[in-house]
Structure 1
Amino acid sequence: MYYIAHRLFAAHDRALGALIARQLAKKAGPESVFLPFCDTDEEDLVAPVKGHRLFELDRERLQTLTGMIAVLHGPSLDDGVCMEIGYAAALNVPVVVVTTDFQTYSADEHSPHWAFPDPLIETIAHRVTRVDRLGAPQLADSPDRFTAFAARNQAQIETAAAMSVEAILELAANNCPAPAPARAEAGTVFLEPSPHIRCPEALLDTLHAAHRSVTIAIRHQAPDPFTAAHADWTTALRAEVLVADVSGPETPPGGAVLIGAAAALRRRIAAHLPTAVITHAHGREPNWRNLMIQYAVGTRVCDAHSLARWLAS
């Protein structure tokens, strides 16, 4: 089963996912491609707790994958897609990340550039397909410049879709039997701070007070972010507990990736989120985060006291 991970909340994002799914289905067969929203019938699905049911349906597919194509664009990466990338990568499933973003990212003006705001994504992806230029101008006269511009964008999107399909089919064909997922080391905690705000010292004190061996993510301050991202990933996969600070407008991409990985490996997960903006959707229960994040974590903690209670439970 091939999984197409993409942002779901606007028609153009769903259309892009459908384009990739259609191209992949032509080569792999329509029954071997899973397209969220489409194949979970999200528009018309009725369930007592609809958001949780959607999470369950997506997770069922995530556990039986041949490969994943994930679409990520721009400096604000969809946290649900990042969670799905982490889930697949932790299970050693080939992941192709496709982007048409013309920006690259770095920690400062002189440090190495990354394809995405968090180097962890590029570290764990099996391949990044980056088509950052518009298609060539049409030789024939267009009725107006806007039609011509739209055609160049459409050509760029179709190229990105075709390249990502070829990449995932190649990776899946050459994928060796996956090694066993990483085993947890008893008593270990990986702490993923938000890259946007300082991690409250009380959280770290609480983890140490619980007699835990605590490792804090290092890639956001490291001189070599790629090496540090690899170290963060390796260490996080072995941790028995993940505590991720998901503060911000949406879960930071690295935190979302690690939540997905920990969920795939059945680890205990706490999301630190003191304040939240609740989202609402037709027929769905209110959510304090993207539903893939909300239902992957074991609990949401607001402060050190609630974290201590959860650790002791």
Structure 2
Amino acid sequence: MKIYFAGPMFAKADLLYNEYLVKKIRDLADSIEVYLPQENGAINDKTAYADSKMIALADTEKVLESDLLIAVLDGLTIDAGVASEIGVAYAKNIPMIGLYTDTRQQGADNQKKLQALGDIAENQFHYLNLYTVGLIKLNGSVVTNEQDFLDLIKKQLAK
């Protein structure tokens, strides 16, 4: 199975988290081939040069070759590149799994947090772009923890 890993990749923390997750995914089965864009030095060595067309062509080719796109949705907003990759996968009907671990989503049953939504500038929850999330949900699902994420990948392997 070919998996495209879409995730933010410009902060050291992002790079390390991506590596961590991809190792766990690769450990699931020998039949898994994960494309992690940050490992493609031809376009993502930030000390070198790659123009926008080179990056778009290289990553789009890998999205289109994939059997599954997985996306890390964490951050202030969904990373713009990740959102683009989700759009390409949706357009080609490639199954997707999103991982959204933001802790602010917890407490959905807490009445004080829910009541605070009526107060200006007191939203206790994090917002994700609903269009991008909808594209994932129309062709997959979004989970909130790494174990569910890995379990869904295993289910895709079994198909």
Per the normalisation by structure 2, the TM-score is 0.73
The within-5 A match list for 1:1-313 is 1-29=2-30, 32-41=33-42, 42-43=44-45, 49-104=50-105, 109=117, 116-125=127-136, 126-131=140-145, 160=146, 162-174=147-159
Distance 1:9 1:30, change over 3 A: farther
Between the aligned partners of 2:8 and 2:91, the Cα distance in structure 1 is 21
Deviations 1:134-168 (Å, cap 9, x if unpaired)?
A: xxxxxxxxxxxxxxxxxxxxxxxxxx2x4312212
Identity %: 22
SS in 2 for 1:77: coil
Structure number with larger C-alpha Rg = 1
Q: For residue 173 of structure 1, what is the amino acid of its counterpart?
A: A
Residue pair 1:68, 1:88 contacting (<8 A) in 2 also: yes
Q: For residue 151 of structure 2, what is the amino acid of its counterpart?
A: E
Superposition deviation, residue 44 in structure 1:
6.8
Between the aligned partners of 1:127 and 1:96, the Cα distance in structure 2 is 5
Deviations 1:73-104 (Å, cap 9, x if unpaired)?
A: 14422111111111112211111110210224
Q: For residue 171 of structure 1, what is the amino acid of its counterpart?
A: Q
Higher share in helix? 2
Between the aligned partners of 1:28 and 1:40, the Cα distance in structure 2 is 25
Is there any run of 5+ residues in structure 1 with no aligned partner, and where?
A: 132-159, 175-313
Q: How many equivalent residue pairs? A: 140
Residue pair 1:62, 1:88 contacting (<8 A) in 2 also: yes
Higher share in strand? 1
Between the aligned partners of 2:26 and 2:5, the Cα distance in structure 1 is 11
Q: Aligned-residue CA RMSD in angstroms? A: 2.9
Residue pair 1:4, 1:69 contacting (<8 A) in 2 also: yes
Is there any run of 5+ residues in structure 2 with no aligned partner, and where?
A: 109-113, 119-124
Superposition deviation, residue 29 in structure 1:
3.0
Residue pair 1:2, 1:34 contacting (<8 A) in 2 also: yes
SS in 1 for 2:65: coil
Distance 1:46 1:52, change over 3 A: farther
Residue pair 2:6, 2:70 contacting (<8 A) in 1 also: yes
Per the normalisation by structure 1, the TM-score is 0.40
Between the aligned partners of 1:94 and 1:172, the Cα distance in structure 2 is 12
Between the aligned partners of 1:115 and 1:95, the Cα distance in structure 2 is 21
Q: For residue 154 of structure 2, what is the amino acid of its counterpart?
A: L
Residue pair 2:60, 2:88 contacting (<8 A) in 1 also: no
SS in 2 for 1:97: strand
Superposition deviation, residue 4 in structure 1:
0.7
Between the aligned partners of 1:116 and 1:94, the Cα distance in structure 2 is 23
